[in-house]
Each structure stands twice: as C-alpha cells, then as structure tokens.
Structure 1
Amino acid sequence: MLSIYGVWNAYTIQVKELTIPVVGLKREIRAVHITDAHLGNFRGKDEVEKIVRKIKELHPEIVFNTGDMFDSKSHFTDGNDVLEAFRSLNAPHYFVYGNHDEQVGIEEVIKQMKSANAIVLQNEISFFGELQIIGLNNMLADRHTFDIHSTAASETIADVMHELEIKQDAPTIVLHHRPDGVKYMQQKDVDLLLAGHTHGGQLFPFTFIAKLMFGYNNGLYRNGTMQIYVSEGTGTIFTPIRLGTKSELTLLKLIPKI
C-alpha cells in the first residue's frame, strides 16, 4: 500500500505558491521554478507534457529551471524529441545544469535545452526588465570545500561571483543547482537563490538524513538580507517513489519590497 501511494505521489505534481518581496522591483513578476525533472528510464515525453501543462496553467511571465533535467541517455536518440512541449511556452525559460546533467553528457543536455528554446546560462548574467538573473554552473562553493556532486573544476562560486560584473543595486536572483555558496552571493547583495538537488530526502527515512546533510534542504530560508528557496523537484532519483515529500512546481510571486 505504501509503495502504491509512493508511486502515485511521485507522479502527481503539486503546485507550491510563494510570495517573495524583492528590494528594487518596480512591479510584481509571476515566475515558475522547476528543477530535478530527471528524465530517463522512468520519465519521458508524457512527463514533460504534464510539466508544461502545469506551467501554462500558472500563466508565468518567466520560468526558472535549476537543472538535473536528465537522468540517463535514453532520450538522446535521433528522433526522440522529448522536450518538444517546452517549445510551446510563451515565457522565457532560463536553465542551469545540474550534476546528473553532467553525468549523462553536459554538451548533449545543453544542445537539447537550447533546441527546446531554453536560455542556457553558464556563469552568465541576463536581465528580465530590471530583474538581474545570474545563472551558475554546477560547482563547488570555494576551494576549501568538497562535494561529490560537483566536479573539481578550477572555477568556484566564490571565483565566479567575484569575476562577474554584477549590478549590486539591481534586484537579483541566482540560479544554481545546489543550495551552496550562499555567503558569496550575499556579499554581492543577491536577493534570492533558487536551487534544487536535495529532493527534500525524497523517501522516508532519508528525509531526516537530508536535513543533516544539507544546510538548506527544502523550502524557504533567510540568511541575512538574502532568501534561499530549495524545491523538492518534479522528478525522482533511483526509484519513482516519494514518501514524506512531494513532486512540486513552484509559483513565485516576486513583489516589490516596501
């Protein structure tokens, strides 16, 4: 009975709504955050179409995608247009890649996302009106940290946040797959970090272990003047079962902070 419920729960996408005040915004922006779809052996075109239908029902002006779109190479065959539904979105769709995207082949993932009209940010800045969007590659917070979910590349969040020409007086959102490097973002007056990766632990009793593993595990947090939102994700890893968590899309109402 628990397994049946867990599978149903894993494939039932629930919408979580948040209102987040952001300093410097001149008007409300309606956004959707998606992460950790994990397209692969258990999820494919049907799941993508369901995700896109949900997004359209929320009527966002912009979509933020924080990675782990793919979980295997099963959809990288010729003629398998698994992301076709995303091309029907009318809102700009910003994407940064995650550790599973790297494992299955980051070049192919980026190719797939760009073909689906996503704006792929790789340690880059983009603007949506006055909103500054910083998209970071999946990387370590700094040179003194270690994480098995990030390659030991030369770049770190600390390095990139220092090198980018960030307008510190602009309302700013950072997209990074994992909820790491917060202090380096806060030094640049970032208002909001959007991340995924943790799945909230996905499956009891790992829900308790995840709380110990991750400083920011699931939900909305505040660190000084900065807010961090960690989504439990729309997909699953290892097994298509959720117990104690949910598969979610997040509707973000970004409003001017008075």
Structure 2
Amino acid sequence: MFVLIGITALILYSLLVFYVSRSCWSWMGGKTPVWFKYVYIGLIVLLSTSFLLGRIGEGLVMFQILGAYWMAVFCLLLLVLPIVHVCLWLLRLTKLSRSTAKAGAGLVVLATLLTAIAYGTFNAYNPIVREYRVEIPKPNPAAQQLNIVMAADMHFGQLSGRQHAMRLVEQINALQPDIVLFPGDIVDDDLRPYEEKGIDDILSGISARYGVYAVLGNHDRYRGQMDHFIDVLEQGNMTILYDEAVTIDDSFTLIGRKDRIDRERAPLSELVAGIDASKPLILLDHQPYDLDIAEQEGIDLMLSGHTHRGQIAPAHLITGLLFENDWGYLQKGSLHSIVTSGFGFWGPPIRIGSRSEIVQIQVIFLE
C-alpha cells in the first residue's frame, strides 16, 4: 500500500515538474541557443531531485539548501502559472500579439515570484508574538496567574540556525515567562547541524521561573539511541517529557506525550492515571489530534504545533480539513486547545498565508 502511494506521488510530482519546467521554457526557449536546452534539462533534474536527496542523505548540506529553495519556487510557480495561462488564453481574444503577451506574462511571473519570495522570507524569519488568555476553573495555590510562553516547530537545521535560535531566546526572555513549553519538532530531521551550530548553548540562555519543558515531534528523529537524542536536547537546559508527567511547584501538572508516529506511545488514559485531577492539567502533544479524548481525560489546556498553518497558502485549507483545530484557539467543553503555526519552517524558508510566531498564554486560575 505504501509503495503504491509512493509511486503515485512520484508520478504526480514528475508531471507537475514537467508542467512548470515546460512553461518556463516556452517563455525563454526561442531566445536561447540549442545547447542551453540540455543544460536546462540537467538543471531541472538536479533541482527537482535535490529536495529528496537532501532529506534522504545525511550531511548533504548543498542538496538540503538547494532543495529547500527549489520547493519554494516550485510551489509558488504552481500557484502563479495556471492563472497566467488562463490570462494568456483570454488575451487571444484581443488584438494584442501573442509574442507581446507571452513576454509580458514572463515578466509578470518573474516579478510575482521575486515579490512572493521576499514577502515569504520576511514572514518566516520575523516571528510575531501572539497572545491568548485562558481561564481554568481550578485553584492554584502558588499563583492565580501563569505566564506560559510556547514555541514549536523550530526545525533547527541548515536554514534555521544560530541567528534564528538567538532571536527565539531574545523574544522569549522579553516576555518574562513563568514557564516555557516546546511542543515538538525542535530539530529538522538531522541532529548534527543542531550540535555543530551550538543551538543547545544558545537555548540554555532562556530564563523562566519553572524552566523549559518540551516533547518530541515527528521530525525529532535520530538513527541512534533515542536516549542520546534526548540527552543532547537537554543540554540546552530543557526537560524532555517522553510519555511522562511532572507536577510543578505542587501547583499544576504537565503531561508530555511521545509523538503520534511513535508505535510505543502510551494511551493518554495511562499517562493521567493516578494524577491529582484537582490540579490544572496541561498537555503537550505535538500533533493536535484527539481533542475529544483529551477532554474526556480531564485535560484543561492542550498545546500543539505541527500544522504550520499550511505554511504556504492555500495549504491552510488542507490543514483546516485534517485537524479540528489547525491553528489558534478552540474550546471543546472544558478543554482549551491552542495550536501554534510554529516559530520556524519546514523545507522552504517561506511563509505565505501564515507567519512565524511565539505564543504567550496568560492562564487565569479560578476558585
């Protein structure tokens, strides 16, 4: 079944690559020498396979960076080119010459592409602070209010590196959090860039009264022992909750789940068994599934990431269909669900229709 899905996806991707490359060639093919045709074909093959090669092979930095930018351009062209082709077809009904229309369309595509990349890059690398206020009808003997700062989906790697990590620490500390929570995808599939760039040293600069707690996401992967992976992350002065629960200051309980793709993930009912439900229960779960189960198990606040809010529109329409809450705030009975669009990005360092963000949650405890 998985092989069939993979072959189907590969065929569809190849057809879309052909459509994009053929469209671009029709714009410039008549103005170039014949030898350039073969160079162009080789370049398209290199670019279209670079993303896959960068993800499959560890340490292939050039392919990882090249593939990320290729996917950005590829996705944007898939959005722009169909509109341009429809406009060109309509222009045939006018007296405008076909060559003039085609040249103008090429310039429009180029200008749109450059503008979108600049705009999307700004959205990816310039996160904003998004604020929420949540009331939980449970007493907290330590304080009536809890200032939570959350960031997810940093995807620290080749393109989300030291500067992005320093920006994260600076913005978090400026919010003076009581506790900092990372609901997964701290690393972008490969642990080595995280170690080589010294991201752990940078993250250790986060200051919070109760410290930093995190769970792992579907991209927090490691081919060796998971204990080593967790040890490396915890060198950044954070505590990884790996299907674990911890009560903070005898006031509220944090529950951190393994990611949904982990076959050894325990059911939520097992994790909450024996926990004092009179205290506020906060759940970290990377993928925002099973809100009804979280509500049934007495969770007060569930924090997630994973969706990126689609990252590049109109993918947000897909995430909206897949998840009951794909971004923002949703209350389901006594459960409060907050999903962040993420601090970083996956693949292309581009965000269109979404924005990198840090989330600040003011939790009010009521008697």
TM-score, normalization: structure 1? 0.89
| Secondary structure at 2:156 match in 1 | coil
2:270 to 139, 149, 160: 160
User: Residue in 1 aligned with 2:318?
Assistant: 209
Alignment of 1:191-202 (within 5 A): 191-202=300-311
1:64 to partner: Cα distance: 0.6
Could you tell me how far 1:125 is from its partner in structure 2? 1.2
The residue type paired with residue 75 of structure 1 is P
Once the two structures are TM-superposed, the CA of residue 156 in structure 1 deviates from its matched residue by 4.1
Q: Identify if the C-alpha distance between structure 1 residues 42 and 104 changes in structure 2 by more than 3 Å, giving closer, same or farther.
A: farther
Aligned position for 1:100: 219
Rg larger in structure: 2
Quote the Cα distance in structure 2 between the aligned partners of 1:214 and 1:166.
28
Query: Which amino acid is 1:41 matched to?
Result: Q
Give the distance between the partners of 2:170 and 2:194, measured in 1 at CA.
Answer: 23
1:169 maps to which residue? 278
Amino acid at match of 1:12: N
Residue 258 of structure 2 corresponds to 137
1:33 matched residue in structure 2: 150
**Cα distance in 1, alignment partners of residues 264 and 204 from structure 2:** 34
Give the TM-score, by structure 2 length.
Answer: 0.63
Whether contact under 8 Å (1:123, 1:160) holds in the other structure is no
Distance 1:238 1:53 in 2: 24
- What SS does structure 1 have at the residue aligned with 2:219? helix
Q: Which moved more, 1:55-64 or 1:21-30?
A: 21-30
CA separation in 2, counterparts of 1:64 and 1:41?
A: 23
- Aligned to 1:208, the other structure's residue is in SS state helix
**How many positions carry a matched residue from both structures?**
245
The 2-side partners of 1:85 and 1:47 are apart by 10
Which structure has more helix as a fraction of its residues? Answer: 2
Q: What whole-Å deviation, never above 9, does each CA across 1:113-157 have from its counterpart, x for those lacking one?
A: 211110111111112231111111112xxxxxxxxxx13x14343
Alpha-carbon separation, structure 1, partners of 2:223 and 2:180: 23
Preserved contact between residue 202 and residue 245 of structure 1 (Cα < 8 Å) = yes
Separation of aligned partners in 1, 2:343 and 2:270: 28
The structure-2 alpha-carbon separation of the partners of 1:104 and 1:44, relative to structure 1 and needing over 3 Å to count, comes to farther
- Other structure's SS at 1:16 match: strand
Counterpart of 2:232 in 1: which secondary structure? helix
In the TM superposition, residue 107 of structure 1 has moved relative to its aligned partner by: 4.0
Question: Which runs of no fewer than 5 residues in structure 1 stay unpaired?
Answer: 140-149
SS of equivalent to 1:216? coil
Distance, in Å, in 2 between the alignment partners of 1:158 and 1:82 is: 31
SS at match of 1:200: helix
Of 101, 117, 121, the residue aligned with 2:237 is 117
Partners in 1 of 2:291 and 2:189 — Cα distance? 29
Structure 1 residues 108, 12: closer, same or farther in 2, change over 3 A? farther
Q: Quote the RMSD (CA, aligned, Å).
A: 1.8
The CA deviation string for residues 136-183 of structure 1, in whole angstroms up to 9 with x for no partner, is 1112xxxxxxxxxx13x1434345346x42211111100011112322
Whether contact under 8 Å (1:71, 1:104) holds in the other structure is: no
More strand by share: 1
Q: Residue 58 of structure 1 corresponds to which residue in structure 2?
A: 175
Task: Encode CA deviations 1:34-90: one digit per residue, 9 max, x unaligned.
Answer: 10000112111111111000000000010011010010424255x542221221222
Q: 1:171 to 1:76 in 2, by over 3 A?
A: closer
Higher relative contact order (CA 8 A, sep 6+): 1
Distance 1:104 1:95, change over 3 A: farther
What is the one-letter code of the residue matched to 2:153? D
- The separation in 1 between residues aligned to 2:252 and 2:139, in whole angstroms, is 7
Q: Does 1:84 align with 2:187?
A: no
Q: Describe the shift of the 1:213–1:181 C-alpha distance in structure 2 as closer, same or farther (beyond 3 A).
A: closer
Q: Aligned pair in 2 of structure 1 residues 216, 229: CA closer, same or farther (>3 Å)?
A: same
What is the distance in 2 between the residues matched to 1:59 and 1:138? Answer: 29
Kept in 2, the 8 Å contact 1:161–1:188? The answer is no
Gaps of 5+ in 2: 1-114
Contact 1:220 1:229 in 2 (8 A): yes
Aligned equivalents of 2:127, 2:223: Cα separation in 1: 24
The 1:169–1:159 alpha-carbon spacing in structure 2 relative to 1, beyond 3 Å, is closer
Residue from 124, 128, 133 that aligns with 2:248: 128
